[in-house]
Every structure is written in structure tokens, then in C-alpha cells.
Amino acid sequence: MTATVLRAARPYGGDPVDLVLRDGVVAEVLPAGTGSGSVVDADGLVALPGLVDLHTHLREPGREDAETVETGTRAAALGGFTAVHAMANTDPVADTAGVVEQVWRLGREAGHCDVAPVGAVTVGLRGERLAELGAMAESAARVRVFSDDGHCVSDAVLMRRALEYVKAFDGVIAQHAQEPRLTEGAQMNEGALSGVLGLKGWPSVAEESVIARDILLTAHVGSRLHVCHVSTAGSVEILRLAKERGLAVTAEVTPHHLLLDEELAATYDAVYKVNPPLRSKADVEALRQGVADGTIDAIATDHAPHAGEDKEGEWAHALPGMLGLETALSVAQLALVDTGLLDWAGVAERLSVAPARIGRLAGQGRPLSVGEPANVVLVDPAARWTVDPAALASKSRNTPYAGRELPGRVVATFLRGRATVLDGALA
């Protein structure tokens, strides 16, 4: 097989080398300019392990008008991802071996990146009885992450049973931390601004109380807990205490919670409506610090495409969620690298290594070393681009960054040595 040489690439932002990809692995790491094969000019580009998303909504089956596995994974590849975890809130819900295998096979057929289905914790996401966790784990999809995302597993007994059950196959429960009674009718972050705007508030304690309870359950059971889309300073503090106790608790934050804040709700533009809501500037700063010091393990997109009619109406009636796959790396650079909080090795840890480890994806999130899988993304950190919703690969257009200039651009993505993106376009 002809080798692909990533000429003068800078692994993790370090010194330039030639990365030689052959037979699906990194075959050689040579002084810049010495590798032989089909050359990709990577001079000035940062090389990172292919990105891994723990939290993607692909919408198929059921809402193919908003996204499909094909369009969603195209967007993922263009964003530098070589693997995504597809959330379970499809129609039908991914709560059986049959549905998770369907999503997994669609991902293989599309071929833009690996698709690891997330199984529902409870049947129909209804929070009443456990789904077929064991059958999904033993299926061809080999599910290891389970979540009712969009809904909280609010019943403590069910949560305990789920944590106990997944221990048998090293699974993890990814909790959408939202106490339902405290957030009935909530539209935005609870605070002075929600009062001014006349929108019912979503209080921080509704997230923090569930995280605290689940950490205690995890400690009692001795299982693995992952907290989805952390959004408050109080949550970061609770997670920090859990880490200090050495508990098997991990957490993610979205790019938009690292950059945007509640003041955007004052526009009443529903593109800024998400769940959990955009929080205060102090929360944003605490989340950034949580990523920088490792309290928050991963950055996950919560890519949530919606058809136009579901987002373009009044704020109160619009569905929560925004696109994230194609802008995640640029937002991470803007919020963390350009502010000096994280270097490129840190970005690789939060956007590739940690999510692969949490999701138990053995071939992803690996070092850029000889013999390792050739999952690589090349980034131009000096580039700047203006987000054009019409140019995005996603089937939906609900990006909060429309018309905004962002730093950094994915130039190429390689999945096991095969280019899925070259020169910023699908290969």
C-alpha cells in the first residue's frame, strides 16, 4: 500500500516531522522532508489524534429531516472527528440491540468516521424500567455508554440498578443531570436576567443536586459515572471533590458553554436555546478553569440538529439544541488555546484521548506514535473563517456562530490512514 506522508506536520504543536501513514497505522515518524510516498503538505499545521465526540445527535432513525447518519458523520469528519457516540433519543429510541446495530451499520456504510451508538438507560427514555443494557453491550455495536440524554434518570433506585448492571461489561452511565421538578417549564438560566425577560428560570441547583446524588450512588456501587454537558460553577466544584476522593466519575462540557453566556437569551433568538441553558459569565469562566485543571475530562459537542420549523418559531416553543461538530475545534482554540489555558496536547487530551477512554474505543484517542492507528487530524491554527450555515455539511442550520469569524480550520482528517477530508473538503 502506498504510504501517505504528512510532510512537516507538527504533532501536538511541537517540532515539524514527517508522519508516514501506511496500512492503517503510523508507520514511521521521520525528520521533516525525509519521508517517501504520497505527500500531503502539512507545513505549519498542527497534527492531533482524530477527535472523538462523546455526545452527538444523528437523529436517524426517525428524524431524517433534521439529520442522517450520512450527513452527521460528514459534518464530523469535516470537524476533525474520527469517531462519534450517537445519542439514543431517536425514533424508535435506541433501547434494543436491533436499533443500536442499525445505527452502527449505517455508520459503517457511510464510512466518514466510526459511529459508536449510545444505548438508552430506560425503555423509551421514560425512566420507568431498565432497557436491554446487556443485549446492547453484547450486540455487534458493543455499546459501552448508556444515556437517557434529554431526560434525567431521576429515580434513584433505577439509577443505582443501572450503575450496578453496567459493571459486568465495564459500561458507563452518562447522566443528563436535570432534576425534573425544579425545571418544569424552564426556558433559560435562572437569575436576574430571566426575571427581566419574563422567561422561567432553570436553576443551577437542578443540575448540581443530581450530580451530587449520582456521585454518592457511584461511590456506593463502585461503578462508572459520566456527567453530560456540565454547565455551572457549582457542578465543577462538586466534581472536583469527587475527583479528590478518587471516584470513577468523569464529565464533559460543550464548546458553546465554554464561549457563550445567558445574555444571548435577550435576543429571543431561539438558536441560543439549549439544554442545559447558557449560563452566567462566571459559570463560563469556571467551566474553562475546570477544563484547564482536568476536573472536566472532555469537551463534547452535544451536536443537536433541528429542522427549521423546530427552531425558527418563538423562543418558548422552539426545541433546545445547536449544531457543534464543524465548529468544536475552532471554539476550543478560541476559548482555551488562544486564552493560554490549554496547549494543543491539552486539546488532544480533552477532545480525543479522554472521550475515547471514557467510551472504551480501543482504536481511537491513541498517540501519534509508530504502530498506533493512523487516526489523525491536521489543523491550521493561523487560519480564520467565517461560519456560513449554508456551507455546513449538517442537514440543519441551527448554528449560533452564523456570520461569526472563528480561528483555526481543519485541513485534513484521516481515518485509519484513509483521508476523509483533504484541503478542507470531503475526500
> Degrees (nearest 5) of the Cα angle 341, 347, 350?
105
Give the C-alpha separation, 10 to 46, whole Å: 5
User: 229 labelled as ligand-binding?
Assistant: yes
Residue 215 is placed in which grid cell?
456521585
Which of 315, 345, 334, 308 minimizes the C-alpha distance to 387? 334
Respond yes or no: is residue 302 known to be catalytic. yes
Which of 240, 287, 299 minimizes the C-alpha distance to 81? 299
Question: Which residues on adjacent β-strands are paired with residue 116?
Answer: 85
Residues 6+ apart with CB under 8 A from 395: 65, 66, 67, 68, 71, 72, 305
User: 375 labelled as ligand-binding?
Assistant: no
User: 256 labelled as ligand-binding?
Assistant: no
Rounding to the nearest 10 degrees, give the CA dihedral for residues 191, 195, 196, 200: 100
Question: Where do the DSSP E strands lie in 169-283?
Answer: 172-175, 188-189, 201-202, 225-227, 249-253
User: 275 labelled as ligand-binding?
Assistant: yes
User: 319 labelled as ligand-binding?
Assistant: no
Question: Which residues on adjacent β-strands are paired with residue 378?
Answer: 47, 412
User: 342 labelled as ligand-binding?
Assistant: no
Lateral strand order in the sheet of 225-227: 145-146, 172-175, 225-227, 249-253, 298-299
3-state SS, residue 122: strand
Q: For 57, how many CA atoms within 13 A lie in the half-sphere containing its CB?
A: 26
- Burial class of 267 by CB neighbour count within 10 A (0 to 12, 13 to 18, 19+): exposed
User: 57 labelled as ligand-binding?
Assistant: yes
User: 317 labelled as ligand-binding?
Assistant: no
Between strands 405-415 and 25-31, the pairing is unpaired
Q: Which letter, b or e, does each residue of 44-73 get, where b requires 16 or more Cβ atoms within 10 Å of its Cβ?
A: ebbbbbbbbbbbbbbbbbebbebbbbbbbb
User: 381 labelled as ligand-binding?
Assistant: no
Give the C-alpha separation, 282 to 303, whole Å: 24
User: 176 labelled as ligand-binding?
Assistant: yes
Which residue in the list 18, 302, 310, 380 is annotated as catalytic? 302
- Burial class of 262 by CB neighbour count within 10 A (0 to 12, 13 to 18, 19+): buried
Q: Write the single-letter amino acid at 57.
A: H
Residues designated as active site? 302
Residues annotated in a binding site: 55, 57-59, 89, 149, 176, 229, 275, 302, 306, 320-321
Residues annotated in a binding site for substrate: 57-59, 89, 275, 306, 320-321
Residues annotated in a binding site for Zn(2+): 55, 57, 149, 176, 229, 302
